[in-house]
């Protein structure tokens, strides 16, 4: 047998040996770096990064997958590290506030001893008032306290010039603690949580038609009343359309992303036994809002969690409709929809039965409202479908109603088609 010529292609055995050699070198190098860095908290975090990232890159390069348990452990490490770093900064900032501001922060449970620091917005650390939220270690990170009445304050000037907003309990000392802080009370934002720890009244588990809305602050309904949230508007539409009793569970929590929404679905599905699920998504579910719009979001991580939601719904024969929340900037400015919501449709790989983008309805209604305002000699801005008058981009009561009506029409067709044997609806081909 002739010897292989110089420069011929390497054999499969040679390629395997080369891959193993590279992996061994990387492991040795990473081990040395880990040893050098692991003496402090920051060092241990850097050591963790130095061990995992190059190793994962090489595994990808040689065509090997990363075990999901390892990915989950990495997320836990990063989140705990970020929370620990944030807690130190919180104390430094709190010490610089005047007595009035400290009084408000103490009342809200935002002081260093009681503030709730948890992960949210996909990869961020959120500062939450512990009087309104409580920790959740089932996968949701945090949740509303049950049976609580709260109200939003905004324009609260924090250190660094940041204008913050958060909900605080509407108790007997509310007016006293807000006075003199510069905070603006949004009176129409009064909200109640029920015994399930969700916004709205007590769930009617015996309703003829029942559904769950999964989502973040858009679905929670920021700065609007309990009867003006998108879920409540959807409920009213379905009641009118089907002439029956309807329950739509509003599980929206500010800062939630698909991972938290998956565990939320697990918690409430057996309690409400839904006949449909709405999965509301927004750009910051995939990373920093503006980075996502430029195509730098983490699509693969949420492909996994959206797939889990999809698989759960399919296993129970529940239609699930994914709905990206319209962003006001994409209505009033350049659409730039290639990454959001375009990236979502790429993840879902779904037909019209399981994906609905209501932005065209919002654009059309924006034009109608602007024409009407102009004819009446009124200002045409800010967009009345959003909370622009509060310096906020979430839905106004009018926008919530439009969302409920447009999503309701699409959902009604899905449910009616299923009733006549027209097939089901899933989020991804082949399940999760």
Tell me the pLDDT tens digit for each residue of 233-272: 999 999 999 999 999 999 999 999 999 999 999 999 999 9
Residue 30's pLDDT is 47
Residue 4 has pLDDT above 50, yes or no: no
Task: Give the DSSP per-residue string, 367-426.
Answer: HHHHHHHHHTT----S-TTBTGGGT--SB-HHHHHHHHHHHHHHHHHHHHHHHTT-----
CA atoms of 121 and 123, how far apart (whole Å) = 6
Instruction: Decide if 199 contacts 189 (C-beta within 8 A).
Output: no
When comparing pLDDT for 5 and 421, which is higher?
Answer: 421
Distance CA 407, CA 241 (A): 12
How sure is the predictor about 38, in pLDDT bands with cuts at 50, 70 and 90? very low
- Residues 6+ away with beta carbon under 8 Å from 22: 58, 62
Strands (E) located in 72-111: none
What mean pLDDT comes out for the span 56-83? 85
Average pLDDT score over the chain: 87
| Pairwise pLDDT comparison (329 vs 422), residue with the higher score | 329
What's the pLDDT tens digit per position in 376-422?
999 999 999 999 999 999 999 999 999 999 999 999 999 999 988 75
Q: Ranked by mean pLDDT, which of 29-38, 68-77, 423-432 comes out on top?
A: 68-77
> What is the β-pairing status of strands 276-281 and 320-324?
parallel
Residue 119: the pLDDT is: 96
Tens digit of each residue's pLDDT (9 = 90 or more) over 287-307? 999 999 999 999 999 999 999
Q: Given this model, what pLDDT does residue 156 score?
A: 79
- Residue 54 main-chain phi, psi, to 5 deg: -60, -35
Residues 165, 171, 177, 179, Cα dihedral to 10°: 80
Residue 307 CB neighbour total at 10 angstroms: 19
């Amino acid at each position: 047998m002739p010897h292989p010529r110089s420069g011929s292609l390497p054999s499969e055995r040679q390629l395997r040996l080369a891959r193993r050699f590279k992996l061994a070198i990387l492991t040795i190098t990473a081990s040395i770096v880990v040893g050098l860095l692991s003496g402090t908290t920051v060092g241990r975090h850097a050591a963790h990064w130095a061990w995992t990232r190059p190793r994962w890159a090489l595994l990808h390069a040689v065509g090997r997958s990363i075990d999901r348990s390892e990915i989950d452990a990495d997320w836990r490490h990063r989140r705990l590290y970020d929370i620990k770093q944030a807690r130190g900064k919180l104390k430094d900032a709190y010490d610089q506030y005047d007595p009035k501001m400290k009084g408000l922060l103490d009342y809200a449970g935002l002081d260093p001893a009681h503030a709730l620091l948890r992960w949210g917005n996909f990869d961020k650390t959120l500062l939450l008032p512990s009087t309104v939220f409580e920790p959740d270690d089932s996968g949701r990170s945090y949740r509303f306290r049950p049976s609580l009445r709260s109200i939003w304050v905004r324009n609260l000037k924090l250190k660094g010039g940041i204008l913050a907003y958060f909900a605080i309990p509407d108790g007997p000392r509310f007016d006293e603690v807000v006075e003199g802080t510069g905070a603006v009370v949004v009176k129409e934002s009064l909200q109640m949580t029920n015994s399930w720890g969700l916004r709205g009244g007590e769930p009617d588990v015996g309703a003829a038609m029942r559904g769950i809305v999964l989502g973040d602050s858009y679905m929670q309904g920021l700065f609007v009343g309990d009867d003006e949230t998108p879920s409540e508007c959807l409920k009213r539409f379905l009641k009118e359309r089907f002439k029956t009793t309807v329950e739509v569970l509003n599980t929206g929590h500010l800062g939630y992303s698909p991972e938290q929404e998956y565990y939320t679905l697990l918690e409430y599905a057996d309690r409400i036994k839904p006949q449909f699920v709405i999965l509301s998504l927004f750009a910051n579910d995939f990373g920093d809002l503006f980075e996502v719009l430029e195509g730098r979001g983490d699509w693969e991580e949420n492909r996994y969690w959206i797939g889990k939601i999809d698989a759960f719904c399919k296993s129970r024969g529940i239609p699930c409709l994914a709905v990206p929340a319209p962003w006001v900037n994409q209505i009033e400015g350049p659409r730039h929809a290639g990454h959001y919501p375009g990236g979502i449709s790429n993840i879902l790989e779904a037909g019209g039965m399981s994906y609905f983008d209501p932005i065209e309805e919002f654009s059309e209604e924006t034009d109608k409202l602007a024409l009407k305002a102009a004819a009446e000699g009124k200002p045409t801005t800010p967009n009345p479908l959003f909370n622009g008058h509060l310096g906020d981009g979430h839905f106004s009561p009018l926008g919530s109603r439009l969302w409920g009506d447009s999503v309701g029409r699409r959902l009604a067709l899905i449910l009616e088609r299923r009733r006549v044997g027209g097939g089901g609806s899933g989020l991804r081909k082949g399940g999760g």
